[in-house]
Amino acid sequence: MLPAFTSLRHFSTTTMRRAVSEFRMTVPWGEMRGQVWGPSNGRPVLCLHGWADNSGTFSTLIPLLPKDWRFVAIDFPGHGLSSHRPDGCLYTFPLYVADVRRVVEALQWKQFSIIGHSMGGNVAGIFSALYPEMVDAVVLLDTYGFLPTQMTDMFKNMRKGIDDQIHYDNKTDERKERVYTYEKAKERLKAANPFLSDQSADILLERAVREVEGGFVFTRDFRINLKNIVNNNIEQCLHMLSLVKARVMLLLAKDGLFKMFTLPNGYGDRIQKSWTDQKVRCAHIRTSISGTCLSVVKQKYLS
């Protein structure tokens, strides 16, 4: 049975007011948290945030979308208010995919749609390839859905990720949490995300920090910064892409992820061409994908 939703609150935007409740479910290492909008019998849509973000990513988007849909936005483990993974455990994409499978099992969703931003979009791509019968539509925000790595780098990354994890495990005395004032925490968040507005930063910080004596500490697990040890090469990514049966839409930002992070050897163009061959819709916008610019989904998604 799905645990009860608690902590009903309301989120106000300039466009509409939407009730949002807290999602909580038990997992073997603690609990996964998130937010829920819409009626229990509404069209099911799972919302997956990006790396180092949380479900607050979608708080300005959901009020712009149909109010008779059921949106569940999760905090991935190690992010937001969800529990961190157990000591000694690494953060990898296959485990994030398994987290999604746990959530939809608890929700008893047999078929649903996904909106995935950045890392969440890559999780959505892999999940849609592994479970094509479960996903009817996908919106990929500032991601191609797959993140290929050159073959020569795959095992370097694996070695570095393992070494980083062991180093972290052995340095227990260096893990003291740094305490910030709220404004300093906000400054740090905005420095890492220069396109964030003050309002968006405040929304993310609702789940990104917790209050302690003397100020605030960030809730995310430091281990999410360690090198991911499980990578896929371009051939693996293109094969997974071919397995996706859902309708897919790409929303790519001119000043988004791929301005700062360039995929090697034209990999991005190869993936985009493969999506185009599968009749995927692609839209380019001139700003970063954040805040109300995501309202384009309302116009083009799931018509």
Which amino acids are annotated catalytic? 118
Angle CA(121)–CA(126)–CA(127) in degrees, nearest 5?
90
As beta bridge partners, residue 250 has 140, 282
Backbone angles phi, psi at 48, to 5 degrees: -120, 120
Query: Which residue reads 């995300």 in tokens?
Result: 193
- 156 alpha carbon, distance to own chain's centre: 25
Separation CA 190–CA 184 (nearest Å): 10
> What are the structure tokens assigned to 126, written together?
């892999």
Q: Which residues contact 254 (CB under 8 A, 6 or more apart)?
A: 284, 285, 286, 287
Report which DSSP code applies to 58.
Answer: G
Separation CA 51–CA 45 (nearest Å): 20
What is the Cα Rg of the chain in Å?
19
Sign of CA pseudo-dihedral 79, 139, 254, 264: positive
Do residues 74 and 115 lie in contact, with contact meaning Cβ atoms separated by under 8 Å? no
What is the CB neighbour count within 10 angstroms for residue 264?
12
> What are the structure tokens assigned to 94, written together?
């296959």
Longest CA pairwise span in the chain (Å): 56
